Amino acid sequence: MAGLHSRRDTLSVGLGLGAALTLPQGLALARAPKATGQAPYYYRFPFGEAQVTVVSDGPLPLGDPGETFLGVSKEEIRGMLSRNFLDPASVTLEQNIPVVNFGDRLVLFDTGMGTSQAFGPTTGRLTKSLEEAGIRPADIDAICCSHAHIDHVGGIVGADGKPLFPNAEVWLAQSDFDFWTDEGKLGTPLKAFVEHARKNLLPVRDRIKFFRDQQEFLPGVQAIAAPGHTVGHTVFMIASGGKQFCFMGDLTHHQVLLLERPLMEFAYDSDPKQSAQTRVRLLTMLAEKQLPVMSYHFPWPGFGHVAKAGDGFRYFAEPMRMLG
């Protein structure tokens, strides 16, 4: 009986091998074509009694980090990036825009680059990302701007100069509005930033409202002054159902460079030294209170925690929850 099984096994193997050898060559070498699409650019999660949908305005390439992150040698900057498995020669920032559904209102925080391609063609994606997320611009009730830089107010109006969010009021620090819409600065190196701010803010001037430091200007949204990056730069504490997180805007642009070395300066800061001191003060508070944070420019989707690490800080990304 054992011999019979052995002969059957041998016969089966032989038949299988023969069949494999007679398969058409094309079937043996078949390969699936490479896909060309990517996942939609939004991420949704519950927070307290609210729902947060993070949409992207697209990657923003900065190029050589040694040209924008200042006060530390270029060699040290490259070393910091390399040690964290990042490209030491070129930095690309994300543009993470949270849309918070509080149940009775829909609030958008910052609006991306809009029509400007000052940082290349990968930006200006906000409208498409909102569409992918099933969010209609007409349903946005309020836009909260952390500051009036080109990559934060650029998506308020379209190429035709008409508002993209027809029913939204716009909130901003008055000091930033006054500074970046000042016609007198059009003849200065700030010209491109001023032109872009004027293009996006002046058409909705009748809908712009100004918040004050520490003011809960919308239910569940508190403004906290964070000056330095711009004169009126603001972070927002967002609260719902007993939970709270901080939308940091541009408090820190990079998850390694400006956390490990928070006193490093950034080329686009209006007052780099004030910005660095503000960064240390607020990051210390957020770390001590263990509050969740969302950064506009951290790797997608930019939600996590910061913790003290020596003389600086470390960012811990929150795991993405893809089900339920």
The gap from C-alpha 95 to its chain's centroid, in whole angstroms, comes to: 3
Q: Which of 130-134, 163-167, 319-323 has the lowest mean pLDDT?
A: 319-323
What residue type is assigned to position 184 of the chain?
G
pTM: 0.90
Nearest to 147 by CA among 184, 197, 215, 209: 197
The radius of gyration computed from the CA coordinates of the chain, to the nearest angstrom, equals 25
d(CA 131, CA 136): 7
Does the pLDDT of residue 15 top 70, yes or no?
Answer: no
DSSP-assigned letters across all residues of 239-262: EETTEEEEE-TTS-S-TTHHHHST
Q: What is the pLDDT of residue 204?
A: 98
- pLDDT confidence band for 116 (50 / 70 / 90): very high
Does the pLDDT of residue 119 top 80, yes or no?
Answer: yes
> Mean pLDDT over all residues of the chain?
92
Does the pLDDT of residue 8 top 50, yes or no?
Answer: no
What residue type is assigned to position 294 of the chain?
M
Q: What is the pLDDT of residues 298-317, one digit of tens each?
A: 999 999 999 999 999 999 99
The count of C-alpha atoms lying within 13 angstroms of the C-alpha of 24, restricted to the half-sphere facing its C-beta, is: 3
Does the pLDDT of residue 211 top 50, yes or no?
Answer: yes
d(CA 154, CA 33): 38
- pLDDT confidence band for 323 (50 / 70 / 90): confident
Q: What is the pLDDT of residues 255-298, one digit of tens each?
A: 999 999 999 999 999 999 999 999 999 999 999 999 999 999 99
Q: What is the pLDDT of residue 14?
A: 42
- As to burial, measured by CB atoms within 10 angstroms (0-12 exposed, 13-18 middle, 19+ buried), residue 289 is exposed
d(CA 278, CA 283): 8
Q: What is the pLDDT of residues 241-266, one digit of tens each?
A: 999 999 999 999 999 999 999 999 99
- pLDDT confidence band for 148 (50 / 70 / 90): very high
- pLDDT confidence band for 25 (50 / 70 / 90): low
β-strand 69-70 against 265-266: which pairing, if any?
Answer: antiparallel
d(CA 240, CA 48): 5
